[in-house]
Structure 1
Amino acid sequence: MSPNSTRLTGRTALVTGSTGGLGVTIAHALAADGAVVVVTGRDVARGESVVAGIRADGASAHFVAADLGGADEQAIDGLAQRAAEAASAGIDILVNNAAKLLLPEPTATLSAGEVAEAFTVNVVAPMLLTGRLASAMAARGSGSVVNIGSITGLRGTAGSAVYDATKASVHSLTRSWAAEYGPSGVRVNAVAPGPIATERAAEFAEHIAPALARVPSRRMSTPQEVAAAVVFLASDDAANIQGAVLSVDGGWAAT
């Protein structure tokens, strides 16, 4: 995929959790639209492979290793600083994509550790990182934050209480951050995907199949469809969109 647009030329984007799954597709899509992309994740080899692929397409990318599983102020500060240094520029676009996925499980069998880990990765890490980077964007007078939520944060799913709660928190944070940073020129929005046809989809197939039978589109979203929504919200095409949660779910939320 070679660069096909210039909407994001001159901007630098940091995509968390972009060494696999949806994050890789988002990183490629932002780069194809002209952004310099900072890829982050725990696996150095996979991260460097993603960067090599983006560069092979004629776009620009860098890799910064990061583990958000034990997110704290020092780790987040380090990621924000190393990302800016790698790209030799401030971060103009932040995509909070990294997430802890949980297989459906009854609430009664969940451990405190599982709950804490999910909230650390899905809520605490993006909160701390947005606090650092959106504040810097506000000081410059412009920027965009796109959070990856979920359709499960908009409607209940049996056996998915913790994940649903973390994504509902992401949606709430999106609205709060829009109110907080919007007056300083920083837009904050979210994308709420339904099931996505990634390599991990097979793990959830038996749980997803009954719901897909009721979804108007009768299928999962592709990673490219979700990434296109992220690029749109990050670009000036969405210049007056603030605090929105854009569903990319084939109509799941409508049923």
Structure 2
Amino acid sequence: MRTLITGASGAIGQAVARAFRGDALILQANRNGATLEAFVKAERLDARVDTCDLEDEDALEAWMTSIEQIDRLVYVAGNHVHGLVVDQPIHDLDRLYRVHVRALTRLVQRAVAAKPYDAPLDIVVVSSVWGEVGAAGEVFYSTVKAAQLGFVKAFAREAGPFHVRINAVTPGWIDTPMNDTVEETKDEAIQAIPLGRLGHVDDVARTIRFLCSEEAGYMTGAILRIDGGWQ
């Protein structure tokens, strides 16, 4: 199996790479190629590390020419901004859109076009619980995450006859470095989560692995929330 994972240098991306140990991996990083190379070596993964800024449309198009047929695409890549809508420059929304929606769409187009008609392709998109319920102070982020979910649900209907399954996961408060920047404390978050703990990156990775397995072979267009009952 050949699996492409975007955003593989982040905490969730690395967990997903470990979950697909044994596959021939293509791991994308934005600027942290050296970090990802060290991770691959330490984990003894069969992986090719590619550096590409997904926000840069020309760089994305050039990189895609090196991507041949794959069996799985796990789209973890993303960026993030905080702030009130009235205070945020509109180019912040454009920046988020290019990574969360445009680059995702282009990679899906490439992956589908590169495969034989009858070859199966599994796609999983890592969205966010904010794409489902929204968050004040993170309206731009919630917007592009909701767009990802719309894409997943619509494309599932279109792509099924072409042997393509596409699903999404919507993590809640996962204990990652990105969430260390959020003003709400972890203790307060834990109190609001019925399962009484923050999510772990492996909680997300295991669900993604399931969605790419034969056990989930009749699932497409599904949105699986991973938040411990938080939202």
TM-score, with length taken from structure 2: 0.92
Mind listing any 5+ residue stretches in structure 2 that lack a counterpart?
none
For residue 28 of structure 1, the aligned residue among 18, 31, 40 is 18
Matches within 5 A, 1:77-92: 77-84=61-68, 90-92=69-71
Closer, same or farther: CA 160–208 of 1 in aligned 2, 3 Å: farther
Structure 2 counterpart of 1:130: 108
Structure 2 counterpart of 1:16: 6
Aligned 8 A contact 2:20 2:209 in 1: yes
1:120 matched to 2:98:
yes
Structure 2 counterpart of 1:174: 152
Aligned 8 A contact 2:189 2:198 in 1: no
For residue 100 of structure 1, the aligned residue among 62, 72, 79 is 79
What's the secondary structure of 1:226's corresponding residue?
Answer: helix
Structure 2 counterpart of 1:41: 29
What's the secondary structure of 2:174's corresponding residue?
Answer: coil
Query: 1 CA distance for matches of 2:213 and 2:193?
Result: 29
TM-score, with length taken from structure 1: 0.84
Q: State the 1:83 CA deviation.
A: 3.8
Q: State the 1:69 CA deviation.
A: 1.4
Deviations 1:63-87 (A, max 9, x none): 1111101135xx3343333243xxx
My pick for the range that moved more, 63-72 or 145-154, is 63-72
Q: State the 1:212 CA deviation.
A: 4.1
Identity across the alignment (%): 29
What's the secondary structure of 2:66's corresponding residue?
Answer: helix
Query: 1 CA distance for matches of 2:194 and 2:51?
Result: 40
Query: 2 CA distance for matches of 1:71 and 1:218?
Result: 42
What's the secondary structure of 1:172's corresponding residue?
Answer: helix
Q: State the 1:218 CA deviation.
A: 2.6
Query: 2 CA distance for matches of 1:119 and 1:208?
Result: 28
Structure 2 counterpart of 1:8: none
Query: 2 CA distance for matches of 1:107 and 1:135?
Result: 38
What's the secondary structure of 2:207's corresponding residue?
Answer: helix
Mind listing any 5+ residue stretches in structure 1 that lack a counterpart?
1-10, 85-89
What's the secondary structure of 2:78's corresponding residue?
Answer: coil
Deviations 1:191-218 (A, max 9, x none): 1100111122211152665454322113
Aligned 8 A contact 1:29 1:231 in 2: yes
Deviations 1:82-122 (A, max 9, x none): 243xxxxx21100111001123x111101011111011111
Query: 2 CA distance for matches of 1:176 and 1:135?
Result: 18
Query: 2 CA distance for matches of 1:80 and 1:237?
Result: 30
Aligned 8 A contact 1:12 1:36 in 2: yes
Aligned 8 A contact 1:37 1:62 in 2: yes
Query: 2 CA distance for matches of 1:12 and 1:20?
Result: 20
Q: State the 1:156 CA deviation.
A: 2.0
Query: 2 CA distance for matches of 1:41 and 1:196?
Result: 20
What's the secondary structure of 1:224's corresponding residue?
Answer: helix
Aligned 8 A contact 2:131 2:143 in 1: yes
Structure 1 counterpart of 2:40: 51
Q: State the 1:222 CA deviation.
A: 0.2
Closer, same or farther: CA 218–71 of 1 in aligned 2, 3 Å: farther
Q: State the 1:246 CA deviation.
A: 0.6
Q: What do you get for the CA RMSD once the two structures are aligned?
A: 1.8
